[in-house]
């Protein structure tokens, strides 16, 4: 897992040092405060390490530079564009990792507007983190996966449109391992299927949506099934399988989470951090409770999660459903009113979130609704 990230003069950040919880980390902030950039910086350091475990030290700078360019996609793919050097001060990027939850590792780079390569900091221990992280971006990727898997020769076209968070996820969706997930997560997988009224089926480059739900064997029309105990079965509906493009985007995003767990890409204590950029994007608010329940269960199984959100419902469900066994840390990014510098405030207590633009806006809407309904009463 990643334990700490330090950014100096990098993108919107003049100076940032953030300590991550081993459980769930929720990054909150208004647009333009760098939530996604923070997420991408942490992911870029973690995934480049895990994808290149056996590289020679002389190749580290080249590989990390290429990955940062592919994830951030700066103008003209020049990594110096990510630096906001002031005077003689240079940009720096540093992360600390806990390998297999026991061994500390760190990786650190310097950067300036005048060079087009990350420079390994001499204080970095140069050892690479090996646990592969997962990044779920804001847009769904099942439709992208189909096009990329079916026509791999067009990868360069996809690379001009989508950054590597999308392409990396497509690669992970392609995994086809035997399920290793904890049986405690199985009911949540079945609940996903029942919420979206079907499941996505992967076969080579083809993905189809098979409509249906999970039922208890007691509900089966087959008499022999009624004696079975403790398991449920998937019963498809008579309709033909659907194309992914005919399924709601919010359902496709839930399908991605289902696939990652079901194909053993997302296995707590085996994979690295789960990064999720705005889980609520294109998602019906009714699905937020289920998403939070799954995240809390994964956290219970020692899966580190770092997510960004603008959603009051998601944050509120986290607050309502969590207990002393769940470690949730809230990280609030905001701009100082005078300097306009992006600042960070972290807290373990939902009630201590300050400033909380999400809750303030929700409260404002509630007050406006009361005012409109009440009319001029009381004036």
Q: What is the CATH number of the domain that holds 345?
A: 3.40.50.300
For residues 275, 128, 100 and 314, what is the CA-based torsion angle, rounded to 10 degrees?
Answer: -10
Residue 301 CA to residue 268 CA, distance in Å, equals 6
Residue 302 CA to residue 300 CA, distance in Å, equals 5
Sheet of 13-19: strands edge to edge? 13-19, 2-10, 91-99, 103-111, 119-120
Residue 83 CA to residue 10 CA, distance in Å, equals 5
Same domain, 2 and 61: yes
Mean pLDDT of 34-49: 93
pLDDT for 194 equals 94
Mean pLDDT of the chain, nearest integer? 86
The range of the structural domain enclosing residue 87 comes to 1-133+272-379
Mean pLDDT of 290-311: 94
Say if residues 287 and 257 touch (Cβ distance below 8 Å): no
Same domain, 238 and 156: yes
Q: Out of 253, 270, 287, pick the residue that ends a domain.
A: 270
Same domain, 7 and 106: yes
Same domain, 258 and 174: yes
Same domain, 145 and 249: yes
Same domain, 129 and 172: no
pLDDT for 232 equals 81
pLDDT for 192 equals 95
Same domain, 2 and 113: yes
Longest dimension (CA), the chain: 79
Q: Which of 92-96, 116-120, 355-359 is most confident?
A: 92-96
Say if residues 121 and 96 touch (Cβ distance below 8 Å): no
pLDDT for 54 equals 62
pLDDT beyond 90 at 5: yes
Same domain, 276 and 323: yes
Residue 221 CA to residue 339 CA, distance in Å, equals 68
Mean pLDDT of 147-162: 83
Residue 280 CA to residue 286 CA, distance in Å, equals 10
Same domain, 3 and 129: yes
- φ/ψ of 338, rounded to 5, equals -85, -55
Q: Which of 114-118, 169-173, 369-373 is most confident?
A: 169-173
pLDDT for 201 equals 92
* Closest of 1, 14, 259 to residue 130, by C-alpha: 1
pLDDT beyond 90 at 44: yes
Lowest mean pLDDT among 29-43, 166-180, 304-318: 166-180
pLDDT beyond 80 at 247: yes
3-state secondary structure of 102: coil
Q: What is the pLDDT of residues 71-113, one digit of tens each?
A: 999 998 999 999 988 666 689 999 999 876 566 788 899 998 8
* Closest of 10, 26, 15 to residue 299, by C-alpha: 26
Q: From residue 333, give the alpha-carbon distance in Å to each of 17, 99, 344.
A: 12, 27, 5
Mean pLDDT of 59-82: 92
Domain total in the chain: 2
pLDDT beyond 60 at 230: no
pLDDT beyond 90 at 216: no
Lowest mean pLDDT among 42-56, 132-146, 218-232: 218-232
Q: What is the pLDDT of residues 161-186, one digit of tens each?
A: 999 999 999 999 988 876 667 788 98
pLDDT for 223 equals 55
Same domain, 293 and 187: no
The percentage of residues in the chain with a pLDDT greater than 90, rounded to a whole number, is 51
Q: Out of 237, 270, 303, pick the residue that ends a domain.
A: 270
pLDDT for 227 equals 53
Q: Out of 215, 244, 270, pick the residue that ends a domain.
A: 270
pLDDT for 304 equals 96
Same domain, 126 and 21: yes
Same domain, 127 and 158: no
């Amino acid at each position: 897992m990643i334990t700490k990230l330090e950014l100096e003069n990098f993108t919107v950040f003049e100076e940032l040092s953030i300590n991550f919880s081993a459980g769930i980390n929720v990054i909150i902030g208004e647009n333009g405060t760098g939530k996604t950039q923070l997420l991408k910086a942490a992911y870029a350091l973690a995934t480049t390490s895990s994808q290149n475990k056996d590289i020679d030290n002389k190749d580290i700078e080249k590989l990390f530079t290429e990955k940062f360019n592919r994830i951030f996609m700066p103008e003209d793919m020049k990594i110096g564009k990510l630096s906001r050097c002031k005077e003689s001060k240079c940009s720096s990027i540093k992360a600390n990792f806990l390998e297999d939850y026991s061994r500390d590792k760190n990786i650190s780079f310097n950067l300036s507007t005048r060079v087009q390569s990350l420079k390994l900091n001499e204080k970095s221990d140069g050892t690479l983190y090996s646990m592969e992280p997962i990044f779920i971006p804001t847009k769904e990727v099942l439709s992208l996966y189909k096009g990329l898997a079916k026509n791999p020769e067009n990868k360069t076209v996809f690379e001009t449109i989508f950054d590597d968070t999308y392409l990396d996820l497509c690669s992970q969706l392609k995994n086809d391992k035997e399920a290793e997930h904890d049986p405690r997560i199985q009911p949540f997988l079945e609940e996903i299927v029942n919420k979206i009224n079907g499941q996505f089926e992967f076969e080579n480059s083809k993905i189809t949506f098979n409509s249906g739900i999970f039922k208890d064997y007691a509900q089966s029309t087959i008499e022999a099934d009624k004696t079975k105990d403790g398991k449920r079965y998937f019963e498809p509906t008579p309709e033909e399988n659907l194309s992914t493009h005919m399924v709601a985007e919010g359902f496709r995003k839930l399908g991605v989470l289902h696939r990652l767990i079901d194909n053993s890409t997302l296995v707590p204590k085996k994979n690295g951090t789960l990064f999720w950029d705005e889980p609520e994007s294109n998602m019906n608010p009714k699905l937020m409770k289920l998403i939070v329940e799954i995240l809390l269960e994964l956290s219970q199984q020692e899966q580190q999660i770092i997510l960004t959100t603008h959603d009051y419902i998601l944050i509120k469900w986290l607050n309502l459903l969590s207990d002393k066994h769940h470690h949730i840390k809230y990280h609030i990014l905001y701009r100082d009113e005078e300097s306009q510098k992006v600042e960070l405030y972290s807290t373990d207590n939902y009630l201590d979130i300050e400033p909380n633009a999400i809750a303030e806006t929700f409260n404002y809407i509630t007050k406006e609704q009361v005012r409109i309904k009440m009319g001029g009463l009381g004036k």
